[in-house]
């Protein structure tokens, strides 16, 4: 069995084990797992509207997953995707509300503002890591809370008159698509999906086809060897966090310009940024893997809404299944060990 095949089988087995253990928990809790999973799948593939909502839900997951995967591939662990997403969301809506311009200028401006805000939020832990060796995990966790409370304060005092949400963005800054909505029985699917797929290609191209990507990956493998080879390690660390933050900021734009069309006061985190860690891990930190994992997470989130209606199974069980999948992905060493032994027996 080749290493490539093992890399593909490992996340698949992790998902399967998560669903099997989830089925056992349903059974113990007195629910019918077959009915539960049937309603879950029906909630995703049962009609065009649900499928469109699943694609819409996966869009920010793709970008959040790319943010985590990009940093991880360059030797960094970006826990701050949630905060970068929030500032990106705020920046996009701010531009969408405050500026009046034709769509051909307004929409790109709002999307770029989101990317820049996320990049700025990634720059701070990047520069602290590069100059002072402050661990990026600590800084990015703190930056999440700063982003949440600063965004809430700006929404309440600058973008509204002590309201809990901003005005709706101008039509010229909206990612909404009447065409995609009509195609999916008037779901909230928007053009952000296309932007996320473009970002997947961009990440793959940067990491796999450019000198910059080679240097970033080299620094991730071994900073001392990279420095000895003449690479600017500090610059690459900062650049990696900036690019990662930009992906996360764009994830916020998908919510602010596409799904919700406004920014609101948040009592807590959205969770999309943290789920992005699981998406990246399940996708093996590869561009195509992130897309597949994001679809799984988007489908689970949307399909879960159908479970209480059709089978009486509480949708919180889907959160348990997601947690189990993450657990088995984290324990992928055991799965790899099993596959290695299976491979040796075949030989």
User: Each residue of 303-334: pLDDT tens digit?
Assistant: 888 888 888 888 777 778 777 877 777 777 67
Q: Look at residue 307 in the predicted model and tell me its pLDDT.
A: 83
**DSSP string computed for 107-143:** HHHHHHHHHHHHHHHHHHHHHHHHHH---HHHHHHHH
Query: What distance lies between CA 25 and its chain's CA centroid?
Result: 27
Q: Look at residue 227 in the predicted model and tell me its pLDDT.
A: 86
When the pLDDT of each residue in the chain is averaged and rounded to a whole number, the result is: 90
User: Do residues 58 and 295 lie in contact, with contact meaning Cβ atoms separated by under 8 Å?
Assistant: yes
User: Each residue of 115-155: pLDDT tens digit?
Assistant: 999 999 999 999 999 999 999 999 999 999 999 999 999 99
Given 3-state DSSP classes, what are the helix, strand and coil percentages for the chain, each rounded to the nearest 5? 80, 0, 20
Tokens of 51: 């499928």
Degrees to nearest 5, angle at CA 201 with 261 and 252: 20
Query: What distance lies between CA 71 and its chain's CA centroid?
Result: 13
Q: Look at residue 109 in the predicted model and tell me its pLDDT.
A: 97
Question: Hey, where are the domains in the chain?
Answer: 32-312
Of the two residues 3 and 219, the one the predictor is more confident about is 219
pLDDT greater than 70 at residue 346? no
User: Each residue of 180-220: pLDDT tens digit?
Assistant: 999 999 999 999 999 999 999 999 999 999 999 999 999 88
Q: Look at residue 337 in the predicted model and tell me its pLDDT.
A: 76
- In angstroms, rounded to a whole number, what is the distance separating the alpha carbons of residues 343 and 77? 32
Confidence of residue 347 (pLDDT cuts 50, 70, 90): low
Q: Look at residue 99 in the predicted model and tell me its pLDDT.
A: 93
Q: Is the dihedral of CA 327, 332, 334, 338 positive or negative?
A: positive
Confidence of residue 16 (pLDDT cuts 50, 70, 90): confident
User: Each residue of 56-90: pLDDT tens digit?
Assistant: 999 999 999 999 999 999 999 999 999 999 999 99
Q: Which residue has the tokens 């990049």?
A: 119
Q: Look at residue 261 in the predicted model and tell me its pLDDT.
A: 95
Any bridge partners for residue 264, and if so which? Answer: 165
- In angstroms, rounded to a whole number, what is the distance separating the alpha carbons of residues 116 and 242? 9
Residues 6+ apart with CB under 8 A from 132: none
Please state which architecture CATH assigns to domain 32-312.
Orthogonal Bundle (1.10)
Q: Look at residue 1 in the predicted model and tell me its pLDDT.
A: 65
Angle between helices 192-209 and 287-304 in degrees, nearest 10: 150
Nearest alpha carbon to residue 228 among 218, 216, 237: 218
- In angstroms, rounded to a whole number, what is the distance separating the alpha carbons of residues 162 and 227? 51
């Amino acid at each position: 069995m080749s290493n490539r095949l093992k890399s593909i089988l490992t996340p698949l087995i992790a998902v399967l084990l998560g669903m099997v253990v989830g089925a056992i928990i349903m059974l113990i809790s007195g629910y019918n797992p077959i009915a539960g999973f049937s309603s879950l799948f029906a909630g995703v593939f049962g009609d065009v509207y649900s499928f469109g909502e699943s694609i819409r839900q996966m869009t920010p997951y793709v970008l959040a997953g790319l943010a985590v995967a990009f940093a991880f591939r360059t030797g960094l662990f970006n826990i701050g995707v949630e905060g970068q997403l929030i500032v990106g969301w705020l920046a996009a809506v701010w531009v969408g509300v405050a500026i009046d311009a034709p769509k051909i200028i307004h929409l790109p401006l709002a999307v770029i503002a989101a990317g820049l805000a996320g990049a700025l939020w990634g720059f701070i832990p990047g520069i602290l890591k590069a100059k002072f060796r402050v661990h990026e995990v600590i800084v990015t966790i703190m930056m999440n809370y700063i982003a949440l409370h600063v965004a809430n304060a700006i929404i309440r005092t600058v973008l509204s008159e002590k309201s809990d949400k901003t005005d709706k963005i101008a039509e010229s800054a909206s990612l909404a698509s009447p065409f995609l909505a009509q195609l999916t029985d008037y779901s909230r699917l928007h053009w952000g999906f296309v932007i996320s797929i473009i970002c997947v290609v961009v990440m793959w191209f940067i990491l796999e086809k450019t000198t910059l990507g080679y240097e970033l990956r080299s620094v991730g493998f071994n900073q001392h060897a990279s420095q000895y080879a003449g690479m600017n390690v500090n610059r690459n660390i900062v650049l990696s966090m900036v690019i990662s933050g930009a992906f996360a900021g764009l994830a916020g734009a998908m919510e602010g310009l596409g799904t919700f069309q406004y920014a609101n006061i948040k009592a807590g985190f959205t969770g999309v940024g943290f789920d992005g860690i699981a998406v990246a891990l399940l996708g093996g930190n590869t561009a195509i893997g992130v897309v597949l994992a994001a679809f799984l997470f988007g489908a689970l989130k949307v399909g879960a809404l159908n479970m209480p209606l059709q089978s009486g199974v509480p949708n919180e069980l889907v959160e348990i299944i997601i947690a189990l999948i993450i657990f088995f992905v984290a324990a992928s060493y055991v799965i790899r060990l099993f596959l290695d032994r299976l491979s040796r027996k075949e030989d």
